């Protein structure tokens, strides 16, 4: 039986990856320090004899007994409000954490895939973004703690690949959505759906002309699975190239939820990228992958998930001390 360590296992993407690898017949070791993850995302796996879990911070030395064939490093805060709240942990998990996991991969002779991000492109001057674009990142802006940690992570991973011949994979993930996102993590999709469900106005930051390209998590997981099993060790974009402005996206959420609330405009947070869309030619050519789930379908599934959350979860305010961010 092949075994895989998944860090960030209790998070949005990590938990879906745990499900996928269990489904594929792997022994899955999940690891998470639960700083942004939630055990409820993997509760259903605890009864499975092929699943085990460590409550551990990967920024500290990692010990996992037994053999490991693969490591997937998905531990990291991934929403701008989280970077503001826990900037030092954000920096550590993708630098020290990545270093520890690369060391573990060497010790176990395992192949490692690290989760990078479209944020390595910063506020991009090239559009759409190909993997060859180097980015336009402000290291000392509010997003710098995430962007630079992920850029360091890529450099470190390539160094282990080149110096130690370690088998490495780097996925650059663009905006992804789906069930198990935190309703109050501050990201635009849960923010809008949460506002609609609570009967609040939808808050657009800036004038809403900034664009994003949203990928449904099933598509993303399929792309990651294929990348892991491929021979390709340079960074690869995985995302949905279907680009939409945040204003149009708000309209889609209004139509989806049937809310009678209006849109209100707030200040654009510093360093918020103006546009983002992946060039996925490489994924198409090398992995035979492209997204299959249209936004209308993915949004319905995601809305159904948020609708069944408890009132307590719906009204939880995670941002009490960060109201300035939402001016
Ligand atoms: N955004 C918004 N209203 C919100 C939350 C976010 O208009 O309540 C905007 C945000 O300024 C950004 C886009 O939506 O331009 C996507 O934000 P998100 O935090 O989801 O991720 P990002 O792609 O910026 O990392």
Contact 149, 94 (CB under 8 A): yes
pLDDT tens-digit profile, the chain (327 residues): 999 999 999 999 999 999 999 999 999 999 999 999 999 999 999 999 999 999 999 999 999 999 999 999 999 999 998 988 999 999 999 999 999 999 999 999 999 999 999 999 999 999 999 999 999 999 999 999 999 999 999 999 999 999 999 999 999 999 999 999 999 899 999 999 999 999 999 999 999 999 999 999 999 999 999 999 999 999 999 999 999 999 999 999 999 999 999 999 999 999 999 999 999 999 999 999 999 999 999 999 999 999 999 999 999 877 766 666 655
Index of the ligand 1 atom closest to the CA of residue 81: 19
Q: Which residue lies with its CA nearest to atom 1 of ligand 1?
A: 188
Q: Which residue lies with its CA nearest to atom 24 of ligand 1?
A: 272
* Residue to probe by mutation, ligand 1, list 36, 246, 252, 326, most atoms within 8 Å of CB: 246
Q: Does 175 contact ligand 1 (Cβ within 6 A)?
A: yes
The C-alpha angle with vertex 87 and arms to 81 and 89, in degrees rounded to 5, equals: 115
What's the number of CA atoms in the CB half-sphere (13 Å) around residue 28? 27
The DSSP call for residue 129 is: B
Q: Does 325 contact ligand 1 (Cβ within 6 A)?
A: no
Q: How many CB atoms lie within 10 A of CB 219?
A: 20
Query: Catalytic positions, please?
Result: 146
Q: Does 38 contact ligand 1 (Cβ within 6 A)?
A: no
Contact 26, 1 (CB under 8 A): yes
Q: Which residue lies with its CA nearest to atom 4 of ligand 1?
A: 188
Domains of the chain: 3-325 (3.40.50.720)
Ligand 1 centre to CA of 178 (Å) is: 16
**Is the full-model pTM beyond 0.85?**
yes
**Is residue 128 reached through a cis peptide bond, with omega within 30 degrees of 0 on the bond before it?**
yes
Torsions phi, psi of 122, nearest 5?
60, -135
Which residue carries 């940690």 as its tokens? 149
Helix, strand, coil proportions of the chain in percent (round to 5)?
Answer: 45, 20, 40
């Amino acid at each position: 039986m092949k075994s895989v360590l998944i860090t960030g296992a209790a998070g949005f993407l990590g938990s879906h990856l745990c499900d996928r690898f269990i489904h594929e017949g792997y022994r899955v070791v999940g690891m998470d320090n639960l700083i942004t993850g939630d055990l409820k995302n993997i509760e259903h796996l605890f009864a499975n004899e092929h699943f085990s879990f460590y409550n551990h911070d990967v920024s500290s030395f990692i010990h996992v007994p037994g053999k490991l064939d693969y490591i997937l490093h998905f531990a990291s805060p991934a929403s701008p409000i989280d970077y503001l709240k826990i900037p030092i942990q954000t920096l550590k998990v993708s630098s020290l954490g990545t270093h520890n996991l690369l060391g573990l991969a060497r010790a176990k002779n395992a192949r490692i895939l690290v989760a990078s991000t479209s944020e390595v492109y910063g506020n991009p001057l090239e559009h759409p973004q190909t993997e060859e674009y180097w980015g336009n990142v402000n290291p000392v802006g509010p997003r710098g703690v995430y962007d630079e940690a992920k850029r360091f992570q890529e450099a470190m991973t390539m160094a282990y690949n080149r110096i130690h011949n370690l088998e490495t994979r780097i996925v650059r993930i663009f905006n992804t959505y789906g069930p198990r996102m935190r309703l109050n993590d501050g990201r635009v999709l849960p923010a809008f759906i949460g506002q609609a469900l609570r009967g609040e106005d939808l808050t657009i930051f800036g004038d809403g002309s900034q664009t994003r390209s949203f990928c449904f998590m099933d598509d993303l997981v399929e792309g990651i699975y294929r990348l892991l099993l491929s021979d390709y060790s340079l960074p690869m974009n995985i995302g949905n190239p279907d680009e939409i402005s945040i204003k149009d996206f708000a309209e889609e959420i209004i139509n989806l939820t049937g809310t009678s609330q209006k849109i209100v405009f707030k200040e654009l947070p510093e360093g918020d990228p103006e546009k983002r869309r992946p060039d996925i030619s490489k994924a198409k050519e090398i992995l035979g992958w492209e997204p299959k789930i249209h936004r209308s379908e993915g949004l319905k599934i995601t809305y159904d998930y948020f609708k069944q959350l408890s009132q307590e979860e719906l009204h939880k305010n995670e941002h009490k001390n960060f109201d300035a961010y939402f001016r």
